A and B are shown apart, each in its own frame.
Chain A
């Protein structure tokens, strides 16, 4: 047992003596957590830092089109940039703007609020690779339309302006016979009278500004059971920890091959150490280092970002299971090649794929359904899920069992396969 400890201690010392290794196991996860933590913090807070750039082509150049674009520009999350049609097409093609909104010449004639029968009065030119953002833009445009419609009933100046526009149109339309023209004028007089009355009534006065906004309810809760303050760093902590563990795994897998390519492995085998001890020592060192890295990241998150953990015991269990799983994966990764370069490349490749599928790079909710389903095969997903369960999902004991059980199972499987191949290779 002492020898196992000496082997593990040596591996930790070797790892810590290399600054490049330190970056991958500590520096990179911290940078990752800082970056995405700040992104999530800014998006979940009041001021959005993620404005979508949208080109605006106003071919109508009417009072209505200007009012509509003013309303749309006031919406959070959209930054309108006026441009010509050709420029808009070019900018969308180059990906410099996410989409372009085109208000055609018939925009005001269509009704001026976007509810007219001619769908071509307003168009969205979009980048096919930004379907999600385009859908988001459509939602904001629709909201702006309804807001304009609401303003028609609540803002007298605006209503007068609109009625005048309609009346002028009727007066100028030579195709209307006098009877129909008189009927239309009477209808608008009645509608104007109705809107005036509505505006002065209690219902009209109480119409809220955010009548189109749907309130969101957070499922996060803190230790006291109260609503949890939106903490981006709390969301990114599990991912940050995962990256730390992945860094350890990749580094130790390479060091395992380095032992074989240099003569140290031969010397250890000739010494009074069993091959199984050497493998176990490497696994133990990887485990210890990962624990050290996770502890460091946790302390950093606690001190710098005041990240709270929902259930510390469950968090420790989740971290243990995740590290156990990835130590097993380390054993497998170091069999992917016979040189440091081969294992380094193949190992990072495999871990990257696991990370991509498992939501280690981008939250799973942004991925297509099939990819979310495929993520179930990635231990990264289960690791993040287990830690999230302890940090903010408030998992019960039985709910923790599933991800932790999966992680332990994957760990045992990879450890068995990896150590079998290694043993065979060494023999």
Chain B
């Protein structure tokens, strides 16, 4: 449904994209995960024809020119900056954009009502958007992108600056869209969102695509070891024996607290039980996309 091949873009001397390539299948939710300035918005802008690429190609629904009317018809965009008129009411905003897509009469009312319901703004439909909270604006921003029932949705950091309640509402909306078979390209710098929502994730940094895969595969390939912390209640065996059994020289044992790292925590636990250890408390910190990013770039995503 979406095909990006060798996409490159520079803003004067600053490279924004350095030949990134990926594909998104129909009905898939694809995440572009990276810090601010990684090139996510530039990629979205090129995909929807707002910015011209210096190199590479894009294809949306088989069309290589995103500015063609047939492509625009199937494309929905929720830009990072709020794309709504604050001086108009929520309903007027939706009606205006719906009319541009050719809706009128009952069809228009139906779509507007649906989108207001999706954004959970039905009760505030006649209120000026300027009086809305940040989360409500974000929900309306997303709803405007759904008006014309697009097959492809480009969501550029749709949860920036929203409250937890609105964030969950947006997640629920995206889940419903996924169930409906929409193809979604989702950019974010929140790894939790990428893990929760995306079928596949591309890690981008400084305009480079570092890797692209399913979340679990990325963690498996780049996440590194899980951190396991145990509180033992029974007699403790020799530490050297533990190190040898678990294959971790950095293992520590202090005051009944055992800490070690393992690629396969479950396997390690069964080995410990085999040694006759009595476990009182257990905590496993599995590797996350944060670790993937750390291992791929040498720095943490949150610090970028």
The answer, yes or no, to whether A117 is at the interface (CB within 8 Å) is no
Name the residue on A nearest B87 (C-beta): A17
Secondary structure class of chain A's binding surface, majority of residues: helix
Q: Mark B49-63, 1 if CB is under 8 A from A, else 0.
A: 110100000000000
Report which of B52, B73, B83, B100 forms a contact with A266, defined as CB distance below 8 A.
B83
The answer, yes or no, to whether B115 is at the interface (CB within 8 Å) is no
Residues in B with CB closer than 8 Å to A270 are: 48-50, 72, 75, 77
Q: How far is the CA of A268 from the CA of B50 in the complex (A)?
A: 10
The answer, yes or no, to whether A3 is at the interface (CB within 8 Å) is yes
Q: How far is the CA of A263 from the CA of B75 in the complex (A)?
A: 16
The answer, yes or no, to whether B102 is at the interface (CB within 8 Å) is yes
> In the complex the two chains form, is A267's CB within 8 Å of B83's CB?
yes
- Using known A-B contacts A271-B100, A273-B100, determine if residue A10 contacts B85 with beta carbons closer than 8 Å: yes
| Docked complex: A252-303 residues within 8 A CB-CB of B | 261-264, 266-273
The smallest C-beta distance from A285 to any residue of chain B, in angstroms, reads 13
> In the complex the two chains form, is A18's CB within 8 Å of B77's CB?
no
> In the complex the two chains form, is A264's CB within 8 Å of B84's CB?
yes
| Docked complex: B90-125 residues within 8 A CB-CB of A | 92, 96-97, 99-102
Residues in A with CB closer than 8 Å to B80 are: 263
The answer, yes or no, to whether B69 is at the interface (CB within 8 Å) is yes
Residues in B with CB closer than 8 Å to A18 are: 87
The answer, yes or no, to whether B82 is at the interface (CB within 8 Å) is yes
Residues in B with CB closer than 8 Å to A427 are: 52
- Using known A-B contacts A6-B99, A272-B102, determine if residue A267 contacts B87 with beta carbons closer than 8 Å: no
The answer, yes or no, to whether B288 is at the interface (CB within 8 Å) is no
- Using known A-B contacts A3-B100, A6-B96, determine if residue A266 contacts B77 with beta carbons closer than 8 Å: yes
The answer, yes or no, to whether A13 is at the interface (CB within 8 Å) is yes
> In the complex the two chains form, is A262's CB within 8 Å of B49's CB?
no
> In the complex the two chains form, is A272's CB within 8 Å of B88's CB?
no
| Docked complex: B191-235 residues within 8 A CB-CB of A | none
Residues in A with CB closer than 8 Å to B128 are: 17
> In the complex the two chains form, is B79's CB within 8 Å of A266's CB?
yes
The answer, yes or no, to whether A14 is at the interface (CB within 8 Å) is yes
The smallest C-beta distance from B45 to any residue of chain A, in angstroms, reads 8
Name the residue on B nearest A17 (C-beta): B87
The answer, yes or no, to whether B133 is at the interface (CB within 8 Å) is no
> In the complex the two chains form, is A261's CB within 8 Å of B81's CB?
yes
The smallest C-beta distance from A167 to any residue of chain B, in angstroms, reads 86
> In the complex the two chains form, is B48's CB within 8 Å of A271's CB?
no
The smallest C-beta distance from B87 to any residue of chain A, in angstroms, reads 4
Residues in A with CB closer than 8 Å to B102 are: 272
> In the complex the two chains form, is B100's CB within 8 Å of A6's CB?
yes
Residues in A with CB closer than 8 Å to B96 are: 6, 10
Residues in A with CB closer than 8 Å to B42 are: none
Residues in A with CB closer than 8 Å to B29 are: none
Q: How far is the CA of A250 from the CA of B72 in the complex (A)?
A: 32
> In the complex the two chains form, is B49's CB within 8 Å of A269's CB?
yes
- Using known A-B contacts A13-B92, A270-B75, A271-B72, determine if residue A264 contacts B85 with beta carbons closer than 8 Å: yes
Residues in B with CB closer than 8 Å to A261 are: 81
> In the complex the two chains form, is B83's CB within 8 Å of A264's CB?
yes
The smallest C-beta distance from A128 to any residue of chain B, in angstroms, reads 50
Residues in A with CB closer than 8 Å to B99 are: 2-3, 6
> In the complex the two chains form, is A271's CB within 8 Å of B83's CB?
no
Q: How far is the CA of A7 from the CA of B85 in the complex (A)?
A: 12
> In the complex the two chains form, is A263's CB within 8 Å of B72's CB?
no
Name the residue on A nearest B48 (C-beta): A270
Q: How far is the CA of A267 from the CA of B83 in the complex (A)?
A: 6
- Using known A-B contacts A17-B128, A262-B81, determine if residue A269 contacts B50 with beta carbons closer than 8 Å: yes
The answer, yes or no, to whether B16 is at the interface (CB within 8 Å) is no
| Docked complex: A10-46 residues within 8 A CB-CB of B | 10, 13-14, 17-18
> In the complex the two chains form, is B144's CB within 8 Å of A267's CB?
yes
The smallest C-beta distance from B147 to any residue of chain A, in angstroms, reads 9
The smallest C-beta distance from A53 to any residue of chain B, in angstroms, reads 49
The answer, yes or no, to whether B188 is at the interface (CB within 8 Å) is no
Q: How far is the CA of A263 from the CA of B141 in the complex (A)?
A: 9
| Docked complex: B256-284 residues within 8 A CB-CB of A | none
Q: How far is the CA of A7 from the CA of B97 in the complex (A)?
A: 9
The smallest C-beta distance from B271 to any residue of chain A, in angstroms, reads 54
The smallest C-beta distance from B123 to any residue of chain A, in angstroms, reads 21
Q: How far is the CA of A10 from the CA of B81 in the complex (A)?
A: 20
Residue among A6, A266, A268 with most chain B CB within 10 A? A266
Report which of A3, A13, A268 forms a contact with B88, defined as CB distance below 8 A.
A13
Residues in A with CB closer than 8 Å to B77 are: 266-267, 270
> In the complex the two chains form, is A272's CB within 8 Å of B72's CB?
yes
Residues in A with CB closer than 8 Å to B100 are: 3, 6-7, 268, 271-273
The smallest C-beta distance from B72 to any residue of chain A, in angstroms, reads 5
Q: Mark B138-166, 1 if CB is under 8 A from A, else 0.
A: 00010011000000000000000000000
Report which of A17, A263, A272 forms a contact with B83, defined as CB distance below 8 A.
A263
Q: How far is the CA of A216 from the CA of B99 in the complex (A)?
A: 61
Q: How far is the CA of A272 from the CA of B70 in the complex (A)?
A: 9
Residues in B with CB closer than 8 Å to A264 are: 83-85
> In the complex the two chains form, is B144's CB within 8 Å of A17's CB?
no
Name the residue on A nearest B75 (C-beta): A270
Name the residue on B nearest A271 (C-beta): B100
> In the complex the two chains form, is A263's CB within 8 Å of B81's CB?
yes
Residues in B with CB closer than 8 Å to A267 are: 77, 79, 83, 97, 144-145
> In the complex the two chains form, is B50's CB within 8 Å of A262's CB?
no
> In the complex the two chains form, is B72's CB within 8 Å of A262's CB?
no
Residues in A with CB closer than 8 Å to B49 are: 269-270
Q: How far is the CA of A277 from the CA of B93 in the complex (A)?
A: 18
Q: How far is the CA of A17 from the CA of B96 in the complex (A)?
A: 15
Residues in B with CB closer than 8 Å to A266 are: 45, 48, 50, 77, 79, 81, 83
On A, residues with C-beta under 8 Å from B are: 2-3, 6-7, 10, 13-14, 17-18, 261-264, 266-273, 427
Q: Which 6 A-B pairs have the closest CB atoms?
A: A263-B83, A263-B79, A267-B83, A263-B81, A17-B87, A270-B77
Listed A/B pairs (26) with beta-carbon separation below 8 Å: A3-B100, A10-B85, A13-B92, A14-B85, A14-B88, A17-B87, A17-B128, A18-B87, A262-B81, A262-B82, A263-B81, A263-B141, A264-B85, A266-B77, A267-B77, A267-B79, A267-B83, A267-B144, A270-B49, A270-B72, A270-B75, A270-B77, A271-B97, A271-B100, A272-B100, A272-B102
Other A-B pairs, 20, CB within 8 Å; known A7-B100, A263-B81, A269-B50? A3-B99, A3-B100, A6-B96, A13-B88, A18-B87, A262-B81, A262-B82, A262-B84, A263-B79, A263-B141, A264-B83, A264-B84, A266-B45, A266-B50, A266-B81, A267-B79, A267-B97, A267-B145, A268-B100, A269-B49
